[in-house]
Structure 1
Amino acid sequence: MSETVSTETTLDQLKRGERALVVRITGEKSLRRRLLDMGLVTGETVTLRAVAPLGDPLELTLKGYQLSLRKAEARLVVVEPIV
C-alpha cells in the first residue's frame, strides 16, 4: 500500500523564488471571490517574487503580471509547491 504525503502549504509560507500551484482558497466568501477575481484560481501557477522588509506584503507573479497580497490574505491560499 502506498502512502501519499501531502506537501500542501499556504502562500505565505513559500520562500522567495519558489513556485506553487493553487489548490484552493479558504476564508470568507467575499474575500475568496476577490482573490479569485485577481487570478488566484485552482491550478494556476504562482511565483513568490519578493517579500517586503517587514514581511508584508508579498509580491507574486501569476498569469504574466505582478500581484501584491497582504500576508493575512496569502494565508488563505492553499498551494502545492512545485519541485
Structure 2
Amino acid sequence: MKTTLAGLEKGQKAVIVEFNIDLIPLKLLEMGCLPGNMVELLQVAPFGDPIYINVNDSHVAIRLETATEIDVEIITD
C-alpha cells in the first residue's frame, strides 16, 4: 500500500519508493533516506511535528512538511 512517510502509524515499517530530490534536505540523503531503504516510524511529537524515524539504523527527527514529500510503500507482515 502506497502512502507518504507522514501517513505511517507508530511502529509501522515501509520502504522508500520515491521523492522530489529538490525538496529533501541533503543531510537526510546522506543519512540513507534513499529509495529502496526501509524506514520505521518510532515516535510522533505531541503536536504531530516533527516525527522520529529509524532509517539505516540511524534515528532521525524530520519535519512533517518534509515527510509528506517522501513516498513509501508499507511493509505488511
- Please tell me whether Structure 1 or Structure 2 has the larger radius of gyration of its CA atoms: 1
Instruction: Name 2:74's counterpart in structure 1.
Output: 81
Asked if residue 19 in structure 1 is aligned to residue 13 in structure 2, the reply is yes
3-state SS, counterpart of residue 12 of structure 1: helix
User: Alignment partner for residue 46 of structure 2, among 37, 48, 53?
Assistant: 53
Structure 1 stretches of 4+ moved >4 Å: none
**Structure 1 residues not aligned, in runs of 5+:** 1-6
Q: What does the per-residue CA deviation read over 1:7-58, in whole Å, with 9 as the maximum and x for residues that have no partner?
A: 21100000000000000112x62x3352322311010000000000000000
Sequence identity of aligned pairs in percent?
Answer: 35
Report what 2:2 is aligned to.
8
Larger mean CA deviation between 61-70 and 32-41 belongs to 32-41
Counterpart amino acid of residue 77 in structure 1: I
For the residue of structure 2 that corresponds to 1:9, the secondary structure is strand
Residue in structure 2 matched with residue 4 of structure 1 by the alignment: none
Residue 36 of structure 2 is matched in structure 1 by: 43
Question: TM-score, length-normalised on structure 1?
Answer: 0.83
Higher strand share: 2
Structure 2 stretches lacking a partner, 5+ long:
none
Aligned to 1:63: 56
- Paired positions, count: 75
Change (3 A) 1:71 1:33: closer
